[in-house]
Chains A and B, each alone.
Chain A
């Protein structure tokens, strides 16, 4: 229970940080914000890598592999497409 409260504390504080930072993003950049934050939510890749690598059972390995593929598409696609968009805003 104590561990849960600590984790919950981190969660709540992170939500506050998120609100503070995101409200300062201008509407012009809302699309890159979405694709960029989307790439960040691909952080679940970290969990996927462990599942795919520990190889406890065939099931966990297969699930891990699929999760690595999905999360990597999310991460690589997200950061790359965001970069493409932001370069268009910058080149003026």
Chain B
């Protein structure tokens, strides 16, 4: 197949990728968008397989079959609650593939005794660096999310020094690859060193900061593909990689803004490793615990009810029960909405996916800016499994670790019901005065059990 035809097909595929991302601007067009993206990928791979440089198909077919089988099983079996792990794992595989392709291109150039040019060697070094960080960094993120390793931030004395030393070592190895590309060993050493850097960079980040980490790794997997595009002089790789890189960076920025923290603070701050503060003086004598029946009575007369889900809802698998309660309230004539904080869950948009799986219509899912003006006219707000994102200290206490973080103003609704196992603090490790507020009622229970009890009590009325 002539090179012009192949490049034309690559252009078509690149355009389809842009349409794919454009389709994501609305749930109605998103399915078609994703299919267009898959079509683009299919076209790109098809014309590549027909490239006349290819002498044998067995290895390619074997790889495609094995990869498709593993990918399909993962995609079809995974639970929606485990989506962050899945995306972390896929990010890692993408990064690894890019680094391996760059390594193969380097080995091929050495074998053919072809001349090296600076663009190729620099891009190869970057591909190895970003690919290695993405691969092992993603595996650590996967391990944390799957709770194979502790999800708390692992901090140890001298870690910043160690990080700096390993980072410098990586920089030195990049220079070595650029200066002596014919010595393949430098590349493999770089790959090992960048993998270590990936581990060090993610191990010190706590579980609730994972939305930022996954977004960043998402961006890296795109940038790794981009660097490989520079190695192979392939414009389609560069375009696709740049789109993904941009997407990951935007999501990273949104997540950081939603926590009012800088990226540097998330990456190096060791947030979530400190001991939790006790809130005895705040809570003493002011916390009102109630039963399911009392909550049902409140809900029976409510005109507008808000649900504020957090990661705790996903942990107790309460989303289906919550949806059933929402539906019951709607049938009784109440208006129901779900207020979703950008960092609720373990990855951007995670809570929306869980609620969509439980058949909550997306019109009922309100983002923070839409939800906050509604709270003052809301009769009952039910907070389930969320803590720091509804903590009014973020507004009032400039010394608090979450000071300035945008929160959901549930405290402004007439009554707040908090479903929670205990008064234990959230990820930020600080007490929450909302639990002791005059208009707050606490229902101490497991999320799913609590909601089912409320449904039962409401049906009795």
Within 8 A of A (CB), among B45-68: 45, 48-49, 51, 53-57, 59-60, 62-64, 66-68
B residues near A30, Cβ cutoff 8 Å: 251, 254, 347-349, 352
Within 8 A of B (CB), among A32-75: 32-57, 59-61, 63-75
Q: Contacting B34 at CB < 8 Å: which of A70, A73, A79, A91?
A: A79
Assess whether A76 is in contact with B101, with CB atoms less than 8 Å apart: no
Q: Which residue of chain B lies nearest to A14 when distances are taken between CB atoms in the complex?
A: B242
Assess whether B97 is in contact with A40, with CB atoms less than 8 Å apart: no
In Å, the complex CA distance between A57 and B55 comes to 12
Assess whether A31 is in contact with B64, with CB atoms less than 8 Å apart: no
B residues near A21, Cβ cutoff 8 Å: 18, 21-22, 25, 243
B residues near A39, Cβ cutoff 8 Å: 37-38, 41, 90
| B423 CB within 8 Å of chain A | no
Assess whether B348 is in contact with A38, with CB atoms less than 8 Å apart: no
Assess whether B238 is in contact with A14, with CB atoms less than 8 Å apart: yes
A residues near B349, Cβ cutoff 8 Å: 27-34
Chain B, interface SS category: helix
| B397 CB within 8 Å of chain A | no
Assess whether B234 is in contact with A37, with CB atoms less than 8 Å apart: no
- For the complex, count residues of A whose C-beta is within 8 A of B: 80
| B294 CB within 8 Å of chain A | no
B326 CB, nearest partner CB in chain A, Å: 14
Assess whether A34 is in contact with B214, with CB atoms less than 8 Å apart: yes
| B105 CB within 8 Å of chain A | yes
Assess whether A72 is in contact with B75, with CB atoms less than 8 Å apart: no
Assess whether B30 is in contact with A86, with CB atoms less than 8 Å apart: yes
A residues near B59, Cβ cutoff 8 Å: 52-53, 55, 61, 64-65, 68
Q: Which residue of chain A lies nearest to B62 when distances are taken between CB atoms in the complex?
A: A65
A residues near B229, Cβ cutoff 8 Å: 7
B residues near A32, Cβ cutoff 8 Å: 24, 30, 34, 349, 353
| B401 CB within 8 Å of chain A | no
Q: Which residue of chain B lies nearest to A92 when distances are taken between CB atoms in the complex?
A: B361
Assess whether A42 is in contact with B97, with CB atoms less than 8 Å apart: yes
Identify which of B78-86, B276-284, B377-385, B410-418 touches chain A: B78-86
A residues near B105, Cβ cutoff 8 Å: 47, 51
In Å, the complex CA distance between A82 and B75 comes to 8
B residues near A56, Cβ cutoff 8 Å: 107-108, 111-112
| B210 CB within 8 Å of chain A | no
- For the complex, count residues of B whose C-beta is within 8 A of A: 113
Within 8 A of A (CB), among B434-455: none
| B373 CB within 8 Å of chain A | no
A residues near B214, Cβ cutoff 8 Å: 34
B343 CB, nearest partner CB in chain A, Å: 11
Q: Contacting A77 at CB < 8 Å: which of B20, B71, B111, B222?
A: B71
Assess whether B24 is in contact with A35, with CB atoms less than 8 Å apart: no
| B26 CB within 8 Å of chain A | yes
Assess whether A85 is in contact with B362, with CB atoms less than 8 Å apart: no
In Å, the complex CA distance between A54 and B105 comes to 11
In Å, the complex CA distance between A48 and B231 comes to 12
Q: Which residue of chain B lies nearest to A47 when distances are taken between CB atoms in the complex?
A: B101
In Å, the complex CA distance between A34 and B96 comes to 18
Most chain A C-beta atoms within 10 Å of own C-beta, residue among B214, B225, B357: B225
B11-46 CB mask vs A (1 if < 8 Å, else 0) is 001000110111011111011011101101100110
10 smallest beta-carbon distances between A and B, as pairs:
A72-B67, A18-B246, A68-B63, A30-B349, A76-B71, A53-B54, A77-B71, A14-B242, A80-B75, A30-B348
Q: Which residues of B contact A (CB under 8 A)?
A: 13, 17-18, 20-22, 24-28, 30-31, 33-35, 37-38, 40-41, 44-45, 48-49, 51, 53-57, 59-60, 62-64, 66-68, 70-72, 74-76, 78, 80, 83, 86-87, 90-91, 93-94, 96-98, 100-101, 103-105, 107-108, 111-112, 119, 214-215, 218, 221-222, 224-226, 228-248, 250-251, 254, 340, 342, 347-350, 352-353, 356-357, 359, 361-362, 365, 367
Q: What are 21 inter-chain pairs, A to B, with CB distance below 8 A?
A: A19-B246, A21-B22, A27-B349, A27-B367, A31-B83, A34-B218, A35-B87, A38-B87, A41-B94, A41-B225, A46-B44, A49-B49, A51-B108, A60-B108, A70-B97, A76-B68, A76-B72, A77-B74, A85-B356, A86-B30, A89-B27
For the complex with contacts A53-B57, A67-B101, A82-B34, 6 further pairs of A-B residues with Cβ separation under 8 Å are A44-B97, A51-B101, A54-B54, A61-B59, A72-B70, A85-B353
